[in-house]
Structure 1
Amino acid sequence: MKNSTIRLALALAFALACGSAQAADNVRVTRDFTDTVTPAEQQAYVAGSKAFNQCLRQHDFKYNLTAWTHETGDTYSYSYVTDPVPWATFDAMDAAVKACLPVIGSQVNPHLKGESSAFMQAMPELSHRYGQKTAPPPLIEVTYFTLKPGHQAVETFMAAAKKIAAAAAKSNRPHEYQIVRLLDAGDGAPDFLLVIPSRNWADLGTEPDPDVWKMVESVYGKSDAVAIRQSINDAVAKQSSHVDSYNAGLSYIAAGK
């Protein structure tokens, strides 16, 4: 964790996997941090993170931090995510965490190999939710999309994703997912994330029936489905995926929440 912020993470959290309230005049964003730790420092890092949570509890910190362990991809990494809140809340959050920054500096930072941080804005019009959840899913699959340079690629990707979400809603698809847009994530960060929750590994490994493109075809017809798929391919420069598991032991849940 850096000296001036709480360590969250780029794994993407339940707050985003399950969606967030958003309106044109009331945008909600999530702060995400990802810690990378060498194998030899795991035990000390976990102990330091728990000490940080204890400090937050002692000072009645009022904001949730959901923790995720990276199971594939960049393992020995931990992601932490805030709930979706207005931008102004991060000023209050920074002020509230100051009392526990010495714990980060002395018991967490020394064990870090590296970290990254980003803000993430939920995009409900590009996402599909089926029902409401009250607890983080055990697993999430996170797909990074890095787009080609220029606003055209962004507009093309968003238009295609919006059509897919509309098709999922129209067909009452039971498989939910969330798309978020990264903000101020730094050089080399992806532009969008796709988050799909799963109950367990068997659930994660089971392909939806019908798959997403068959679903899109059933709503728009074959030629339009092919065109939507091609437009995404044309907009994306590269993509990759990894799986995170919910880490209850490192999560901080504020009292009364």
Structure 2
Amino acid sequence: MAQADLDESASRLLGTPRAGGILVVADHASNRVPRDIDLGIDPALLDQHIAVDIGVAQIAEHMVRPGTAAWLGNVSRLVCDYNREPGAPGMMPEVSDGYAIAGNVLSDEARNARVERFFRPYHNGLAALLREHRPALILSLHSFTPGLATCDSPRPWHVGVLYNRDERTAHLALDWLRGRDLIVGDQQPYSGKLLNASMNRHAEAGGIPYISIEIRQDLISDEEGQARWAALMAAMCETVAGQLSDPSGYPATAPDEI
């Protein structure tokens, strides 16, 4: 893909997807803001957690190898948050962790235009990829800030596992992580029962086993941490995929376009 096309794309695909392999999905992997969109914020905020899941793009890049590919969001979550239900207020947040996002005070027409430009291509592209190359396991990769500006409670977990209905795969991942001298959150720092839109749509609706992971951002803010956690995630996925004794028991469907 030419650089100009990549700059306009809603997503990036790294590696070669393979049926029966691992697919890493990172909805918030980019802080890119297209040139024709003005969010009305200090540009320094684009390097903070409100704009991007710090470290996840680099982890995904480290994980790509034969049998493992990655599907990455290619715009900031402030432009369009892919891990939301269509029409949810947080899809284009007007306030994020106490910061006003003036450029997201939009008319219905402008909001719909962003949905058509970013949200639908991202999710329709992922749905098509899953139909063509159904993986054995999806790793939904996110990161979280050690502390919110609007909340005094610290977040001590090194890593959290989120899930909705697919508790089987989540608990295999929880067991593996707890054996690695880590502080592991079960439905922490928040619950997948409440925030699981992308995996609800693409994994649970399609019957594909998945692990939804949140890694604390101070652990993956540099190359050393990113490489370490990429190795951990790859080993975890390999183990869990092997433990899923009958993946053919999941229905072989995938979501339609939205």
TM-score, structure 2 as length reference: 0.32
Higher relative contact order (CA 8 A, sep 6+): 1
Q: Which has the higher strand share?
A: 1
